[in-house]
Chains A and B, each alone.
Chain A
Amino acid sequence: MSALIDLEAGYRKVRADARFREELEALLRDYAGRPTPLYFARRLTEKAGGARIYLKREDLAHTGSHKINNTLGQGLLAGRMGKRRVIAETGAGQHGVATATVCAKMDLSCDVYMGSEDVRRQELNVFRMQLLGARVVPVESGSRTLKDAMNEALRDWVTNVRTTYYLIGSTAGPHPYPAMVRDFQSVIGKECIRQFRRSAGGLPAAVVACVGGGSNAMGIFTPFIGRRGVALYGVEAAGHGLSTGRHGATLCRGRIGVLHGSKSFVLQDRDGQIREAHSISAGLDYPGVGPEHAWLKASGRASYVSVTDEQALEAFDVLTRCEGIMPALESSHAVAYGCRLARRLGRSASLVINVSGRGDKDITILARTKGATRVADR
């Protein structure tokens, strides 16, 4: 708890510090490649047959996803707080890669906890982290995914708290993490508003983003929250289907609980034991969700829907084939719902889908699930 109080104080200080903001802005621009484009997807729009679909291209950010926005911010903060060792948890490996990248750049030592199931599913990212000089620690407990990686990272942190900065990648964990991650990710939504106004005029009718822990969604939603005319849709992983119990749809199917130090919706059984989430995309495989998403749901400001593994795979194909953009399997969930929503909104409307990351990391799993049929196609 004292570490969290120190962290909050440290964060407050840098928030008010113009030099910190300038340094971060310069890094986001010159190092991470921001602003990422807002791209009008003409062929996807035609294929979906409804509203004009714009894609916010976080997949083009350095390291391949939006995660770099937050790791640059927190990496700078770790340096300001005098911590030379950074630990992180990762699911899909995108946050791990983004953390390892920043640690390489800032000369910090880096240990990344990753569930052994995710190590297997996302081997490419494991190798990337190792190339960047990070140590990847496979976690064998529980469901061997993101939740368990986070348990282990928390155990490391309480043990080495004096020397170590814990760099959480999602809007999860104890305060101030959800707020801090939201702030660092809000650059997505701020750019999006500006870019949309310039290229299309006005505001989109809707913004769609996938939700695991919720960082990319909070990032694009936050600047839109006060703009009441814009509908916000968070897309959760329905996995094998909501009725099968094998899913990651925390907001759709969970109830209020406390996990990893935040009170929000949680997938749990009758006795309050945390249930294992399931999704084909490792980044959506988390039985908790950022507390502000729970607030947006309760207040009705955002709607939360779900998309199955199969529908996400289909959307991956559609976007890849008609735009030449390979989305991450996480982002494919947002694409799937975005296309459905486009039909419902009709041709006069416009919407934005946040393509939170690129699909390179998923090639192995795609080859495994699709490989056989593709060979047969030939």
Chain B
Amino acid sequence: MSRIDNAFLSLKRTGEKGLVVYLTAGDPNPAASVAYLRAAADGGADLLEVGIPFSDPTADGPTIQAASRRAIGGGMSVARALGLVSLLRRTHETPVVLFGYYNPFLSFGVPKLCREAREAGADGFLVVDLPPEESREMRPAVLGAGMDWIPLATPTSGPGRIRRAAAAGSGFLYLVSVTGITGVRNALPPGLAAWARSVKARTRLPVAVGFGISTPGMARETTRFADAAVVGSACVRVVERCGASRKGPGELRRFVHSLKHAMR
């Protein structure tokens, strides 16, 4: 039973919904980044998605593109991101999913990556540009190291591909709310609830919905039909606004708390 499975199980027991917070590793700098991750966990995040910055993040909107630039500019790399995860593990047990693009992982070396990620205390991987058809490049090694392989479903995936992706994955299923890229949006797309319910009917995995969920109200609405909501760009915006200032982690903690509170 993985740390991610446990997290969803205990949510289910208490009748709560999950909050997944995404932050880019190393944003705005390595030390402050750990403080922000801890603040997100303290604010009530049930799961953390730690983004490995990539020079060409084609699935990301301007907010996470800018965060990736800041992180890479500060020297962030796969190896250093694993260092941040192990620092986080000294104080927090919150499950961590490493979220990223394939090339930095491939360059680091997949077998070595899985070994070291496990040692650092990471719990799973979500690789946005490795669709199920190409996941043999990495999925077996991740599962073999005892971590989860988080499958992704998009509005154009189609029922057959979603079922296959879910069957090959573990932990939870990440459901992308819109056809599009990450970024803050004003409202949930129409038809999301019905679609999420139809996906839930096709998998045993808990379903987390992400992309564009930006406010406590939207998080609440999302968790009416999903097991968890993922909030990324809206949290990254707090980091962007506060930078390395001392009040930054406190602000993020309060924002995360407001998200979690709205879901209760």
- Which chain A residues have a beta carbon within 8 Å of chain B's beta carbons? 1-3, 141-142, 147-148, 151, 154-155, 158-162, 256-261, 266, 268, 270-274
Contacts and interface: CB of A to CB of B under 8 A. Distances in A.
Given A1-B131, A142-B56, A155-B58, A271 B107 contact: yes
B104 to A, nearest CB: 4
- For chain B, the bracket of interface size reads 20 to 34
B106 interface: yes
A258 B61 CA distance: 20
Contact of A159 (B105, B107, B180): B180
A1 B103 contact: no
A1 B55 contact: no
B93 interface: no
Contact of A1 (B65, B161, B179): B161
B174 interface: no
A161 B179 contact: yes
A1 B107 CA distance: 23
A148 B131 CA distance: 22
**Chain A contact residues: over half helix, strand or loop, or mixed?**
mixed
Contact of B157 (A2, A154, A272, A273): A2
Contacts of B154: 2
Given A256-B106, A258-B106, 19 more contacts: A1-B157, A2-B157, A2-B158, A2-B161, A141-B65, A151-B56, A151-B57, A158-B58, A158-B179, A159-B179, A159-B180, A159-B181, A161-B156, A258-B102, A260-B56, A271-B78, A272-B54, A272-B104, A274-B55
B64 to A, nearest CB: 12
Chain B interface, DSSP helix/strand/loop, else mixed: loop
A81 B178 CA distance: 22
- 10 tightest Cβ-Cβ pairs between the two chains A and B: A272-B107, A272-B104, A159-B180, A271-B77, A1-B131, A273-B55, A2-B156, A274-B55, A154-B58, A272-B103
B167 interface: no
Interface of B: 54-59, 61, 65, 72, 77-79, 101-108, 129, 131-133, 154, 156-158, 161, 178-181
A142 B79 CA distance: 23
Contacts of A141: 65
Nearest to B60: A155
A260 B102 CA distance: 11
Contacts of A147: 56
B99 to A, nearest CB: 15
A271 B104 CA distance: 6
A159 B102 CA distance: 21
B103 A274 contact: yes
Given A158-B181, A162-B179, A272 B105 contact: yes
A332 to B, nearest CB: 28
Nearest to A257: B103
A161 B106 CA distance: 28
B129 A3 contact: no
B107 A257 contact: yes
A159 B60 CA distance: 11
Contacts of A258: 101-103, 106, 129
Most chain B beta-carbon neighbours within 10 Å: one of A141, A266, A272, A273: A272
Contacts of A162: 156, 179
Contacts of B131: 1
Contacts of B129: 258, 261
A246 to B, nearest CB: 17
A170 B131 CA distance: 22
A182 B177 CA distance: 35
